[in-house]
Each structure stands twice: as C-alpha cells, then as structure tokens.
Homo-oligomer: A and B are copies of this chain.
Amino acid sequence: MSTQGLRAPLIAMIVAAAGVAPAFAESALVRTPAEFTSALARVQPGDTLTLADGEWRDFQAVFTGVGAAGRPITLTAQTPGKVILTGRSNLSMAGEHLVVSNLVFRDGFSPTGEVLSFRKSRTERANHSRVTGVVIDGFSKPDRAESDNWVALYGHHNRFDHNQLTGKTNAGTTLVVIRDPEQGLENRHAIDHNYFGRRAVLGSNGGETIRVGTSHASASSSFTTVENNWFEQCSGEVEIVSNKSGGNVYRGNVFFESQGALVLRHGDDNLVENNVFIGNGLPNTGGVRVINRRNTIRNNYMEGLAGSNFGSALTIMYGVPNSPLHRYVQVDGAVIENNSFIDVREMSFGAGMDAERSAAPVNSRFVGNLIVNRDGRDPVRAQGDMSGVTFLRNIQSPKATQSGVLGRKVTLARGPGELLLPKGLKGFGVGADMTFVGREQTGVSWYPKKKAVVALDSGAVHAAAPGEDTLTRAIAQAAAGDRIMLQPGVYIVNQIVSLNRAVTVQGPVKGRAEIQFSRPSLFEIGGGAALRLSRVTISGALAPDVAGAAVLRAGQGAAGYQLIVEDSAFEDLTVNRSFNVFAAGPGSLADRIRLERVTVDKATGSVIAAHTETADLGAYNAEVVEVIDSTFRDVTGPVLDLYRGGTDESTFGPRLILTGSTFERSGRADDGAFKLYGVQRAQIRGNRFVDSGAPNFFRRVGDPVFIWSGNRLEGTPDLITNVKPLEVAP
C-alpha cells in the first residue's frame, strides 16, 4: 500500500489478528464506507484495513484483493467488539489470502441471502482465506420464513475459526459449505473453534446449524474438517449438522443441549470422532445418524440424550435400493466403534424402514461400544434385518438383549474430563484420556457467549389502578421481567399493546380485575417476548366488530415467544365472528403456550388458533401447547386448532398436553371440539367433553405419539382419528 493518495490516515504497522506477521505491511484506518472502498483500491499483500470503532450502519462491505501466503490482506476492527455492523449490512469477500477479523454483526440483518460470504459474485470467490473472531449476534431476518445463510463458504482452503454465531431465528443454515464443480469440489475448508450459540426451534426445514454440500454433488468429497467447535442449544431442526458430501471429518466438537443430531445425510467416507453430546435429558437431543457408505463413528461420548427415532443417540437407517442422490443410500461399511452411550433414551437400528426404504445395513460393524442406562431401561431398538451389522465386544449395563452385546452391571464415575467412565473396564466406550474442547476455547473472549434472557417475574413490581389506559401506560413503562399488579376494578385498553419483552400482568388475590379492550386485539406478542397473565378476567365486550379478532395474537413471523395464562377467565368474545382467545400470526412460532386453570365463556372463534401454515411445507405455529385444568363453554371452535401440514421430516413439533379440562357445548361445527392436524406428540388425558363436537386427531407424517386416556364423552360424538391412540392407564 503506497502512502500517496491514501485519504485515510495511516497508523503504525500492526500484527494481523490472524497471527501472521507481515513484513513491510501498512495499516489504514478507515472511517466510512467510501474511505474503505478508496483504501481497498490501493492495498498490497501484507496490508491491513482497519475499520474505525463505532457503528457501521447499512454497510454492505465487499472485500477483495490478492494477498500472498504469509502476507495476507487483512480487514479488521480498530478494537475487537467495537466495530459494529448494523442495519442492512453484510460482508462478501473474493480473492486470495484474505483475512477478516474481529467484526460484530448485530441489530439488523443482511438484505441478501448471506451475511458473510466467501464470494463476491458467482464467479469471484475467496480461497486460502480466513475469517476469525467475527461475531454474528441475532442478525436474523425479521420474518422467520425468509431464508438466508449467515456464513457461506465457497472456494477452497478457507478457514473459519474462533467465530461466534448466536441467535439465528429465521430459516436457512447458520453456516454452509457451498460446493460446485466449477470452483473444484475438494474444498479442504477448516471450521474450528467456533461457538455456535442458541438457535431456537425453527418449526420447519431449513434450521441446520451447519450443512456441508448438497445432495447433487454428494458423491464427491469435500475434505472439510469441522473440529473443536461448541454447539450450544442449536435446536433449529432435526439436523444440527447436515453432512451432504464425502471425506469430511467431525472431530472434538461438543453438542450441548442441542435438539437434533449430527446427520451423515449424503456422502461417503466421513469420520465422526471424539465428539461429545450432552443432552441433560432435554427433549429431542440426539447423537449421530448414519446413512451411506464407509462412514466411521468412533470414540464419541453421548450422555443424557432424550431423542428417539431419527433423532436417537445413534440412528442407523434403512436405505432405498439404488437410491437417487436425494433419497437414502443404503448403509454399507459403517464402523461404529468405542462410543459411550450413557443414559440415552434410544439407539435406533433400522430406522425409517418402510416400503421405499427397504435396504438393510450391510458390511457394518458395531464394536467396543459401551451402553449404560442407570435407570435400567434398554435403549436399543432394532427394526428389520440387522444381520448386516456385526455386533462385537460391546457392553451394556445393566443387561443386554442384542447378541454381540454383553450384559453386565457397570458402575460409572466422572473422569478427569467430566465424562462418565466405567469403573474397572477398559476398551469399551471412549478412553479415559478423552478430552474435548472447552467452551472458553471457542469463539471470542471479548463478547458474551450468551445473552442474558430476562425471565418473567425477574424484575420490579408495579401497581396499576383501574381506569382507561392505566394498564396501557403501566406496560409501556415496564422493563423486561417486570410484573404489573392490578387492583380490583375495570381496566380499559385502547390500543393493541405490542410486547417485545417479558412482562407479567397479575390480578389481585381477592376481588376481580377485569380488562376490556377496544381494538381488535389486546396484546400482540413479538419475537422473543414473553407474556404471563394471571388472575385476570378479560372481556371482549368493547372489541370492534371485525372478523378474526383475537385477545392475544402473535405478530407475523414472530419466533421464540412464550405465552402463559393462569387462573384467568375470558368472556364474551362474541361481538364478531371468529373471535379467538389466541391467534398465531402468519409464520409465527411459539416456544410455548400454556393455559392453566383458564375459563373461556362464549367465544365465536377458537381458544388457540395456530394454523396459518397452509403451504404444507412442514411448518407450524407452536412448538409446545399445554392446556391444563381449564374449562371451555360455548366456544364455536374448534377450541384448539393446531396445524402442521406437509410430509417433511425435519421437525419435532408441535407437541400438545391437554389434561383435566372440560369442553361444554363447544366445537359443534365441522372441525369439532379440537382439531389436531399433524401434531407429533399429544397427551390427552382426563378431559370431559359435554354436548360438544367430536375431537379430531389426524396423523400427517411420521409416527406421532398420541395418548388418549381417561377422557369422558357426554352427548359428544366419538374421537375421529386415523391413528391408533396409545393405550395407557388413565
């Protein structure tokens, strides 16, 4: 970089963040996008462009250049953590030997399909380049259904390390390796020491944290290494990692409380070793799913994984004979060795067997593995023909049913690396010397890994007096976590109250706090918000006469919100047709909706209307719905209307618990007392249906769990369903 003509001031040569010491290099501090462009035009190998501290709003940076081995061109921050790209920003790079470091993307989203791209255009890519110390924090498109990839690796020999990616809420991978023959299919990328933080359930396909390749080119090898990364609560969909190419290595990674599994979806000759999966018993936490040829899974440690079926601690699938690229290649030559399965719920051999997937695993080995369930439960579930898998020298505690697995009582103790190891037993499961990457060794040190989520009722308590818009003002002033206590009396709310944080509204222990509202909704809940209503009575008497009103609604595309209503009543939702207690907005997804001891008297719509996803792509509006000890009278209904269409197999939800509740004169129209379509797990126990419409439960895809027990029907037609409910004791 010559000093002449450089508008930006030059500061002293610095050592590039990448740790490469350039000789004779210069560093330019740039303060505006125009200065950046101007300085970029003059860079030489070894130079550094430094973005000045501050907010860079709506900055679509294009970083191009040709550095040299040992003399890269570097783009970095004046101070790590103080250069913040916000608004409609992104970064694309093309060239050779480029380094990007220490930037933060936050408070905005990329207007394109990528936040950080290793290419500038379809023909100009980056090779031998590195991105390190970059933070992407919640930089999600506001509409959950609009897809993008946060990081897209193109080209070859690129490294993506020590970055921190958290809080993606919209569709599309967090990181993807995009491959095509034109650029060469052997990517040889390294993805290491990154921290992949919380990714909420997406509620549709497209929520992978990492994907390497696509089915099209999956017969070729990428030779990408994914190593020493930390995945924490990466729960976007059933595939945390979706491997779709050959020759890749997944090593030393930690999967912590993440729903889904590392899935060897397409491609052969991959190696999965020394990874740690910790589920802490959380739903849908899984391990490794095996498909295709010559994949090796060894020395992995699985503990407390509660996933089952396709999301088990270990899943060996049935394949499709002569499978097309996008379906399921038969498992052939899989080696599964010396893995530890501790307190896992299920190991599924022969998963997915059906008329199409009819080819059993062949030439495979399951050797030296350790299976321990301290509660005595047997996690092994085998379907179909397992003769193509050689079971040898495995141990299962307390006992075994599979030949090739020796049953014996094993005692565990935490070893030096916090892993549970069998006492007095060697050569089974992972070795005592196994280590894994520490959380603090991933990502960056200068930016928090987890945003403190302000929980409900963790803040201050405010009082509100009855009156017109007294509650409206109290909520406007409430901080996240605050609770508003209502005195007895009537509260009138004249605007739709938008909530973007956690707020509780609670009525008095004695006396009645009644809320009326004059707009089509009382509350609109936004992405990430939480609302708890307790001991209130809400009347629809003042609502305007517009169809499709809802006391509570979720905004379009709102994701990851919670709604809890307890000890409360809803009355007179009758001023218009289709007046709902709660209605999900298009593309919205609730983490949880819970009604407990709630009474609804007279509503012309539904109590929970969560059926906006009519495109039949496998999306839905609520992950978990719980309805406990509640009473519904004269609800036109269906009282609960949950929809999850399509045949996609990428999601775990929706789930429903409905217990101890009474339906009276409700749901007498076509859709019945409730309509559950495509719900994956439903526990319906101990409810009473009086003079109501028939309950409806329809299987759409997969193998839903449907418990129907101890329900009484009086003057109400029988359950209508296309599955056989599980029989359990009431």
Contacts and interface: CB of A to CB of B under 8 A. Distances in A.
Interface of A: 111-113, 120-122, 146-147, 467-469, 492, 494-496, 518-520, 544, 546-548, 556, 578, 586, 615, 617
- Protomer copies: 2
A50 to B, nearest CB: 26
A322 to B, nearest CB: 24
A492 B113 contact: no
A675 to B, nearest CB: 17
Contacts of A146: 520
A121 B518 CA distance: 11
Contacts of A586: 586
Given A112-B494, A494-B113, A519-B112, A121 B544 contact: no
- Give the dominant DSSP class at A's interface: loop
Nearest to A518: B113
A615 B547 contact: yes
Given A547-B617, A586-B586, A519 B113 contact: yes
Contact of A147 (B147, B467, B546): B546
A548 B544 CA distance: 33
Contacts of A546: 147
A616 B494 CA distance: 27
Nearest to A578: B615
A494 B112 CA distance: 6
Contacts of A615: 547-548, 578
Given A111-B496, A147-B520, A147-B544, 8 more contacts: A113-B495, A113-B544, A121-B467, A121-B468, A121-B469, A121-B492, A146-B520, A147-B546
A624 to B, nearest CB: 26
A678 to B, nearest CB: 16
Q: Ordered nearest first, which 7 A-B pairs have the shortest CB separation?
A: A121-B468, A111-B495, A112-B495, A112-B494, A547-B615, A547-B617, A548-B615
A546 B113 CA distance: 13
A615 B547 CA distance: 8
Nearest to A556: B556
A214 B498 CA distance: 30
A697 to B, nearest CB: 25
Give the most central of A112, A120, A548: most B CB within 10 Å.
A112
B468 A122 contact: yes
A155 to B, nearest CB: 16
A120 B547 CA distance: 27
Nearest to A614: B614
12 contacts: A111-B495, A111-B496, A112-B519, A113-B495, A113-B544, A120-B468, A121-B468, A121-B492, A122-B468, A122-B492, A147-B520, A547-B615
Give the most central of A147, A494, A519: most B CB within 10 Å.
A494
A484 B248 CA distance: 47
Give the most central of A111, A520, A615: most B CB within 10 Å.
A111
Nearest to A124: B468
Contacts of A556: 556
A548 B468 CA distance: 44
Nearest to A557: B556
A544 B214 CA distance: 13
Nearest to A544: B147
A492 B586 CA distance: 30
Contacts of A519: 112-113
Nearest to A111: B495
A542 to B, nearest CB: 8
Contacts of A112: 494-495, 518-519
A395 B568 CA distance: 69
Contacts of A120: 468
Contacts of A468: 120-122
A546 B520 CA distance: 33
A146 B492 CA distance: 19
A469 B494 CA distance: 46
A557 to B, nearest CB: 10
A520 B171 CA distance: 13
Contacts of A518: 112-113
